[in-house]
Amino acid sequence: MHVLSQIFIILLLISFNTINANEITNKKKIIYLSPDISIPFWQIMAKGIKTTSNSLGYEFEAYNSNNSAKKELELTVKAIKENVSGIIVSPSNSSACVTILKLAEKAGIPVVISDIGTDSGKYVSYISSNNKDGAYNIGKILTKRMLHKKWNNGKVGIIAIPQKRLNGQRRTAGFMKALNEENIKGANIMQMVKWTNKETYSFTKQFILDYPDLRAIWLQTSNLYKGALEAINDMGKEKELLLIAFDAEPEFLNLIPQGKIIASGMQQPYLMGVKSVEALNSHLEGNNVEKNIQVPILTVTTENIDKKLSIINQNVLGIE
């Protein structure tokens, strides 16, 4: 660990250890620590957490770390000072989560992890999607479409979420397994840093310029799809490139039937939020809780989207 990071953590621990007892309250409250609440996926998860928390008599508040590990730790200390009932965290990355868990354990506050994961540490339960299987399944949809078009000699570019996240690693592993089974080659992996449509546009355009035999792009998230579609259109590749995604936006309900996005592996963030609160509440009531709870990923295509629409609306898009 970097020396400055060690100093910062020490200061946080000192701050925690010197909390005035008068500051501590016994609120029946759940905090959701989000990596970036401006992203619809985390908004929907927060909605599931809030609805379920309130139904069980808990106050609820969402903290936004803006993808900053430093701010994430500061917010963890803030939650500890409030002496909340529990914390649900979707960490900025798996290594940063380790320190969050250490601080919460020292304070005696239980933590449930929802998505992303941790490298180590003690927690009540880890609510996750089966990212590897979900990515494998949409990879199989893509390879089938490429083989049908006789594009099996073409390459596939990946615009990825950070690969230091466990969920990112698993998505890539499952997807590459599907490509390898059909001997379809990957072009390259470009990892998101700025998380903007401008960045996605730039990555997509660079793939097209660097790989004349490019036939598909997989976007490992959903909210930045506009940048990819715009680049494909600007480069005149609408009929030569397939775009697939992960997760969902409301616009996907039109884009998938139109074939502009051929498939998406949709996590169910609302349901993940619900299960996170249920696990935390069960622990607080003194019950044993399953350590790892996996929520299935929906493989949504032009052929099956109508049949899955009600599930998508509730568990994927959070329309109550």
CA distance 19 to 112: 24
What share of the chain in percent tops pLDDT 90?
82
pLDDT of residue 165: 81
Residue 27 confidence class, pLDDT cut points 50, 70, 90:
low
Joined together, the tokens standing for residue 222 give 């959903």
pTM above 0.75, yes or no: yes
How distant, in Å, are the alpha carbons of 115, 187, 189 from that of 225?
Answer: 21, 19, 16
User: What CATH number is given for 131-266 in this structure?
Assistant: 3.40.50.2300
Residue 7 confidence class, pLDDT cut points 50, 70, 90:
very low
pLDDT of residue 161: 92
- Which residues make up the CATH 3.40.50.2300 domain(s) of the chain? 3-123, 131-266
CA distance 60 to 57: 9
User: What CATH number is given for 3-123 in this structure?
Assistant: 3.40.50.2300
